[in-house]
Chain A
């Protein structure tokens, strides 16, 4: 009973890898995110030709992984959470591909139209 009472008032997750980034590491990650956003912003003024869209997508992908991996702790948590997120992303991508293929409507910049 005592154990149950303890469980009722505390909620320390048992699924965590004990190593979480320190406050300093979080600030460093935020610094990297700031730098990546500045690079994205610079593409508004600098033309990168055929690499323009791929560059933006890569920068977006890195930012996505930094936030999900470190701020959302996916790098340290159980694999189940990562799989749930990937399932959602795959669902979203499938919907996009199905809709564009069905309607033959590709954005002009994608070079697929």
Chain B
């Protein structure tokens, strides 16, 4: 039996409000890591600097993640219209793009470590790996949520008249995308030196 939908005194669904409160706190969470990264930009301890970043490669990753937001919103759109077949397809497409992004990040991290940029090498390296690593963990959690949602549509735990469940997971996914929009510019593109 499904739990009853509880609304706040403002007429807002509790689950959606809860997700937004969580996302608000997540902005501060990532704000702390971005702050640390900017503070430690010049503390490379003689190790590699941001010059080893591969901008072409990261731009392609950024594009993939940005397009995953499109497929996510199309999944929600299909769910709103009760088209569960299409909704499942878009959800899988979103999860797949997330996997491509995380796989790309794992490859990038391996490449950096081979070039001497290791997490314990300098405050700069630590700040970089913590910031981008936590983002990667968030993407991974998003993929798990998407695959869970996909499987729940098969078992009947998510029905065609419950698009809010897709919307709430979509909010998380778009948040992860928005954080990367910031990281891509602040970490990779702005020539701070």
Q: Which residues of A contact B (CB under 8 A)?
A: 4, 7-15, 20, 22-23, 26-27, 29-30, 33-34, 37, 40-41, 43-44, 52-53, 56-57, 59-60, 63-64, 67-68, 70-73, 78, 80-81, 84-85, 87-89, 91-93, 95-96, 99-100, 103, 105, 107-110
Given A11-B162, A67-B181, A109-B192, 17 other A-B contacts at CB below 8 A?
Answer: A8-B5, A12-B164, A15-B10, A26-B77, A27-B70, A40-B59, A40-B184, A43-B189, A64-B181, A73-B167, A80-B10, A80-B20, A88-B24, A92-B31, A95-B32, A99-B35, A100-B38
A53 x B42 contact (CB < 8 A): no
Q: Which residue of A lies closest to B24 (CB)?
A: A88
Contact sample, A vs B, 19 pairs, CB 8 Å cutoff: A12-B161, A13-B16, A15-B10, A20-B77, A23-B74, A37-B62, A41-B55, A52-B191, A56-B189, A63-B181, A71-B174, A71-B177, A84-B20, A84-B21, A88-B26, A92-B35, A103-B39, A108-B42, A108-B192
A10 x B161 contact (CB < 8 A): yes
B67 cross-chain contacts in A, Cβ below 8 A:
30, 34
